[in-house]
Chain A
Amino acid sequence: MTAFNALDAVLLIPLVAAAALAVLPGYRLTANLNVVASLATFLTSVSLFLFEPRSGDYLLVDDLNKVFIVLTTFVAFTTSVFSASYIGHEIEIGRLTPRSVRFYHAMYQVLMFAMNLALVANNIGLMWVAIEVATLTTVLMVGIYRTHEALEAAWKYFILGSVGIALALFGTILVYMAARPVIGEGLEAMVWTVLVQHAAKFDPALLNVAFVFLLLGYGTKVGLAPLHAWLPDAHAEGPTPISAVLSGLLLNVALYALLRFKMLLALNPASIAPGPLMVTMGLISCLFAAFMLYRRRDIKRMFAYSSIEHMGIIVFAFGMGGPLANFAGLLHMTMHSLTKSAIFFTVGHIAQVKGTQKIADLGGLTVTHPVLGWSLVFGVVAIAGLPPLGIFMSEFLVISSTFAREPVLATILVFGILVALGGLFLRLNGIAFGEPRGPSGPVHASYVPMFAHFGIVACAGIYLPPGLVAGFENVAKLLG
C-alpha cells in the first residue's frame, strides 16, 4: 500500500462501508461490518505514520492532523466495538428497530468519513463542508430514538448547528477575501499550505473579522459556552455510542479547525492575537460547566457538561500558547477523548443494566456491579484530573506553565477545575456508593473498549512514549 493510497483509504473505507451498511440486512452482520471497517480505517491511519504521504491541493497530512486522525480512528474503532454490543441490547429491549439500526450504522460510517475528511482537508472550504456533514449526520443520529426528548435535542442541535455552520462559512469566505489579493483568485487562496505561506501579508482587519466568525462558528461545535446549548442534550438523548463519539471526536475535529485558523492568525503579526479571545471563552466554558455539574439529574448530561469544561481547559491552553501549554492542550485533548468516551461506554452499560440514566435512580453501583462501579469511579477520577492518570499530567502542565505568566487567569482556571471536581464527585458519591438502588442484573456487553481506553489513560499518566512526545512537541511548536 503506498502512502497516497493510505490517505485516500482513510476516506474511502468509511464511504464504501457506509454504502454497504445502508443496504445490508441484519444487525449482527452490519455491526460486525461496522467494526471491521472502523478497524481497517484505524490501521490505515496508523500507516500514515509509516509512509510519509504526499499532500495535494485537497488533502493534506502533516504532524498536526496525523495526531488527530489516529486518535479519531482509534476511538471510532473502539466505539464501534462498544456500539456492536450496545445496539444489540437496544434492539432486544425494543428501543431501536432493525431499520433504524441499519440507518444508524450507515450514518456511523458517514460520520467517520466526514470527520476524517475534515481532518485531512487541505482546503478551508472542503474542511467546512466536511464538518457540516459530520454535524448533520450526528443530528440524525441524536434523534434516532424518536422520543420527545431525543427529537427536541436533535432539533436544538440542528438549529444551533446550522447557525454555527453559517457563521463558520462567513468566516471562511472572509479568509478567502483576505487571501485573494495576496495569492490571487481561485482555489489556491483556500489551500492551507498556501495560506500559511502568505499569511503574514493578509489584510489583518479582515482576518480579525474572519476569526470572530470562525471562533463562533466552529466554537459552537466545540461546545464553548455560551454556544454550548446543543451539547448537553445531544449527548444525553442520543444513543450512548454517539455520545462517546460526540465528546471524544467531533468536538476535537471542530477544535482542530479552530487551531488551524489560529495558526493562520498567529502568523500575521498585525492581526489581533487570537489567544485572549480563546482564553476568555475557555475560561467561561470551564467555569460555567463546572457550576452546571452540580444540579444535574441525568448522568449523561452531567458528563456532557464535563466535556464542555474540558473543552474550555483545552481552548484555554491553546489560547495561552507557548510550547508547554500547547503540548498540554494536545495531551489534554487526547486524554479527554479517551477518558470521556470510556466514561460514556461505562455509562452506557450502566444505563442499560439499570434501565435508567437518572442519577437519582442509581446508587451503590460498586456493590451491585463492581466492575462498572469501579470503572465509573476510575473514569471520574481520571476526568477530574487526579493522578496518576493522563489528564493530571496535562492539567499540571497547563496550570504550572500559565501561573507564572498569568497568575489571575490560572487561578480562575484552578477554581473552575476545583468546582468541577466537587460537582463530579458529589454525583459520583450517589451513583457509585451508598445504598444500592435499581436492578442488579448481569451486564451483557463487552468491557474491552472501556478497559482499553482506561488502560491507555492510566499508562499515559506516568509514561508517554517518546515518539508520541516528539510528535506532540513538533505540533506544539507549529501552533506557536
Chain B
Amino acid sequence: MNKLTFDIAHMLAGSLVLVSFMQLYQDRLSSLINIFALHALVLTASVAWQAFVQHAPHLYITATIAFVFKAVVIPVALRRIVVKLGIHRELDNVVGVGLAMLAGIGLVALSMVVMLRVTAEADPLAREDLAFALSVVLLGLLMMVTRRNAVSQVIGFMSLENGLVLAATGAKGMPLVVEISVAFSVLIAFIVIGIFLFRIRERFDTVDIQALDRFRGERQ
C-alpha cells in the first residue's frame, strides 16, 4: 500500500465529510445547492481516485455518473425548482446551526468509535474510508432530519447516498457498484421529479412537507 495513495484517498474522503459539515450550516437553499454540487464533485474525485488506485475501470463510470448527474443535472434542476417556487432565499432550519454542528461532530465521533473497533485485519484504507463514509451517511441523515423543506431533504438524502457510494467504491472489488449508483440515481430522479412536476406540485401549494400533513389519514 502506497503511502501517497492512502493519503490522497484519505484526504478526499475527509473532505467529503468536511463538505457535509458545510452543508449543515447553510441556511439558504441556493447556497445549499451549491455546496451540494461541491459535495458531488469531491465524491467524483474520490471515486475516480479509487478507480485509479484499484485499477477498476468500471468505477470511472460511477464517477462520471456522479459528476454528470449529481454535480450538474440535479443542482441545476433543483435551482430551477427553487427559483420557480420562489423559495431560494428561505431559511428552513429546524434546529439552530450550532446545535446541528454539535450533533454532527458527535455523529462523526460515533462513526469513528464504531469503525475503529474493526479489527486490524481490515485494510487501513478501507477502514478509514468506511469511517468517513459512515460519517457522511449519518450527516446526510441528520440533514434530512433537521430540515423542513423538501428540497433540502432531498439534498440530505443525496449526500447520504454519496456516503454510500464512497463506501461502495472504497470496498475493493465490490461488484454491482455501478448498478447500484445507477439505481440510486434513478431513485433520486424519482424524488426530484416527484417534487418538481409530478404530484406534489400538482396537489400541494408548497413543497414544504408540513403542507402534506394536512392530509395525514385519520385526522378529520
Contacts and interface: CB of A to CB of B under 8 A. Distances in A.
Interface in B155-181: 157, 160-161, 163-164, 167-168, 171-176, 179-180
Interface residues of A, number: 47
Nearest to A132: B183
Contact of B167 (A125, A170, A189): A170
Given A146-B199, A232-B217, A236-B217, A129 B173 contact: no
Contact of A181 (B117, B121, B161, B199): B121
Contacts of B173: 180, 184-186, 189
B175 A186 contact: yes
Interface string A121-164: 00001100100100010000001001011011101101100110
A361 interface: no
Contacts of A136: 187, 190
B180 A297 contact: no
Contacts of A233: 216-217
A151 B153 CA distance: 18
Given A151-B199, A173-B171, A297-B218, A162 B191 contact: yes
A206 interface: yes
A125 B122 contact: no
Contacts of B157: 159, 162-163, 166
A285 to B, nearest CB: 20
A313 interface: no
Residue among B121, B137, B157, B215 facing the most chain A CB atoms (10 A cut-off) = B215
Q: Is the interface of B mostly helix, strand, loop or mixed?
A: helix
Contacts of A184: 173
A126 B175 CA distance: 10
Q: Is the interface of A mostly helix, strand, loop or mixed?
A: helix
Contact of A206 (B122, B180, B200, B218): B122
Nearest to B166: A173
Interface string A424-436: 0000000000000
Nearest to B153: A159
Interface residues of B, number: 47
Contacts of A180: 171-174
A209 B122 contact: no
Contacts of B212: 152, 155-156
A237 B137 CA distance: 31
Interface in A76-125: 125
Interface string B177-220: 00110011001001100100001100100000000101111101
Contact of A203 (B119, B134, B160, B179): B119
A155 B211 CA distance: 13
B28 to A, nearest CB: 23
9 contacts: A143-B199, A159-B153, A162-B157, A163-B144, A170-B134, A181-B123, A190-B174, A205-B118, A206-B122
Interface of A: 125-126, 129, 132, 136, 143, 146, 148-149, 151-153, 155-156, 158-159, 162-163, 165-166, 169-170, 173-174, 176-177, 180-181, 184-187, 189-190, 203-206, 209, 232-233, 236-237, 296-298, 301
